[in-house]
Amino acid sequence: MSNVIIITGAAQRLGLHCALTLNQAGYRVIATYRSEKPGLSRLRQAGIECFQLDVTNSVALADFIRHIFTQTNELRALIHNASDWHADASSQNNPDLDIAADSAIFDAMHAVHAKAPYILNRALAPLLAKSALAGDIIHLTDFVASVGSAKHMAYAASKAALTNLTLSFARALAPKVKVNAIAPALLMFNQHDDDAYKAKALNKSLLQIEPGASELSNTVLYLLQSRYLTGKIIELDGGRALNLP
């Protein structure tokens, strides 16, 4: 039975916690990272294979895919956690500059959140389909994919594209592979977040707590254990969508 799980963007925060949790649960985890982070030492100490990968680099992506085919004949799961976050460009009152900046941000957001998962899913689907249990693809999207964002339009649009890919791949890869998404709102703060920001952020949800990284890891484990869930977006948002004025 295959127990190999790939998780992208696992060098810090939610991805790091998820990789360690899956490792402790007995899975063989292959974790990718874009640049060196302190958390990588924890992954390596746990015996997790760490593969340097910029998912927006098509040559590097192809090398990684070839590497996976040399390492295993089947995959238990592919988890897309790699992410980037850019605000929309400020207007410079120069149409040429605005177009160039907008294009660069839009392309960057879609490259990491939509294009890379699309390529990896299609390339690795044959290995996922060989899993004794139904293989799993899990997309990490975002709360803003369903509500939009006034200042991060390109980011929100790219996460919405990933949400739609969840539906398409669920249809295309059934019944051998289950495909689901997790759409978090606030799960954990950054170290530099001040008290005023934290209070404002907590008040956006009904439950008004910082649940922590385990909330995501537990949801991932639930999806892996489910035999009958595919094409679903799990909104991990503390009731934020219902906290209307």
Q: Domain containing 225 — which CATH number?
A: 3.40.50.720
Domain total of the chain:
1
Q: What is the 3-state secondary structure (H, E, C) of 65-106?
A: HHHHHHHCCCCCEEEECCCCCCCCCCCCCCHHHHHHHHHHHH
Note the pLDDT of residue 194.
Answer: 86
Instruction: Give the domain extent around 224.
Output: 4-242
Note the pLDDT of residue 89.
Answer: 86
The residues annotated with a catalytic role in the active site are: 155
* Contact between residue 121 and residue 180 where contact means Cβ atoms under 8 Å apart: no
- Reported residue count of the chain is 245
Note the pLDDT of residue 190.
Answer: 84
CB atoms under 10 Å from CB of 74, counted, come to: 16
Note the pLDDT of residue 67.
Answer: 97
pLDDT (tens place) for every residue of the chain, 245 residues total: 579 999 999 999 999 999 999 999 999 999 999 999 999 999 999 999 999 999 999 999 999 999 999 999 999 999 999 999 898 988 666 777 688 889 999 999 999 999 999 999 999 999 999 998 899 999 999 999 999 999 999 999 999 999 999 999 999 999 999 999 999 999 999 888 888 999 999 999 999 999 999 999 999 999 999 999 999 999 999 999 898 76
Q: What is the distance between the alpha carbons of residues 34 and 84, in angstroms, rounded to a whole number?
A: 11
